[in-house]
């Protein structure tokens, strides 16, 4: 049975109660419609319309990990630091990959799970209940990030430098070589600024727009990306373990 939105019902009840208390009997109309827009739809769980998108996303993820593993400065770091940095940055790097590959996608509402299925899959349900499920609101936020990146019309070279600034984050907890990572981040940011200035005819505002687009990527959680693009194909496996395996498979 479909879940029904109760927003308008609650608003209508509040209006009726207010009119009764204020003595405005004529305004107590059962046909009352709320002036505020219902946002329940944006909180509903969604899924990809096409399974082909999962395959495209998988290709982007593989390319992302291979890119990180191929960076000479990254290879100089201890294995523990490599894992920590990749675990921290894989999600925004993946979004950059989606933007660079111009991957577009559509979603649809997830069918409501039947009570019988919940009972039969109770154990799996309990294991997954703490995972963030993709909602229409979350997907709209992700698409907004992609549109910002597309509007910048970056070249492959610019994307490469941009990824470099995101890989080396000295604030990641537990790094053994944090000072070295800090110097690498400064070097990557300086190189990005120079290439943007060179390719955009001295437009100093481009760097600021790129930084703004980068900051928006942090609003997209790894869980949303995992559940939307990869859960349909990896099942109950942990994506972060698969990413780590890919990193050291080189």
pLDDT digits (tens, 9 = 90+) for 127-179: 545 677 899 999 999 999 999 999 999 999 999 999 999 999 999 999 999 99
> How many C-beta atoms surround the C-beta of residue 20 within 10 A?
12
Q: Which two tokens stand for residue 160?
A: 């490469």
Name residue 28's beta-bridge partners: none
Q: Please say whether the beta carbons of 149 and 166 come within 8 A.
A: no
- For the entire predicted model, the pTM comes to 0.80
Q: What is the pLDDT along the chain (250 residues), one digit of tens a residue?
A: 444 455 554 555 455 445 555 555 454 444 444 444 555 666 788 999 999 999 999 999 999 999 999 999 999 999 999 999 999 999 999 999 999 999 999 999 988 663 345 445 555 545 545 677 899 999 999 999 999 999 999 999 999 999 999 999 999 999 999 999 999 999 999 999 999 988 887 676 888 899 999 999 999 999 999 999 999 999 999 999 999 999 998 6
Q: Please say whether the beta carbons of 140 and 70 come within 8 A.
A: no
Domain ranges across the chain: 1-38, 44-247
Q: Which fold has domain 44-247?
A: Retinoid X Receptor (1.10.565)
pLDDT digits (tens, 9 = 90+) for 32-41: 444 445 556 6
User: 46: part of which helix (H) or strand (E)?
Assistant: strand 46-48
Q: Which two tokens stand for residue 138?
A: 């979350």
What is the largest distance, in Å, between two alpha-carbon atoms of the chain? 77
């Amino acid at each position: 049975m479909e879940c029904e939105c109760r927003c308008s019902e609650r608003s209508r009840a509040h209006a009726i109660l207010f009119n009764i208390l204020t003595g405005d009997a004529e305004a107590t109309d059962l046909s009352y419609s709320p002036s505020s827009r219902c946002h329940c739809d944006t909180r509903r769980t969604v899924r990809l319309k096409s399974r082909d998108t999962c395959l495209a996303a998988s290709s982007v993820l593989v390319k992302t990990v291979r890119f990180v593993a191929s960076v000479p400065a990254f290879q100089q770091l201890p294995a523990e630091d490599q894992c920590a940095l990749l675990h921290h940055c894989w999600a925004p790097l993946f979004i950059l990959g989606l933007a660079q590959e111009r991957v577009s996608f559509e979603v649809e509402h997830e069918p409501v799970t039947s009570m019988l299925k919940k009972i039969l899959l109770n154990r799996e349900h309990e294991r997954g209940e703490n995972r963030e499920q993709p909602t229409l609101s979350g997907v709209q936020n992700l698409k907004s990030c992609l549109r910002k990146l597309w509007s910048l019309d970056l070249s492959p070279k610019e994307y490469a430098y941009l990824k470099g600034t995101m890989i080396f984050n000295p604030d990641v907890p537990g790094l053994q070589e944090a000072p070295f990572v800090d110097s690498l981040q400064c070097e990557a940011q300086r190189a990005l600024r120079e290439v943007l200035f060179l390719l955009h005819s001295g437009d100093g505002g481009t760097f600021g727009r790129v930084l703004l687009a980068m900051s928006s990527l942090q609003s997209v959680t790894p869980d949303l990306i995992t559940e939307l693009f990869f859960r349909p194909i990896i099942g109950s496996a942990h994506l972060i373990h698969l990413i780590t395996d890919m990193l050291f498979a080189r």
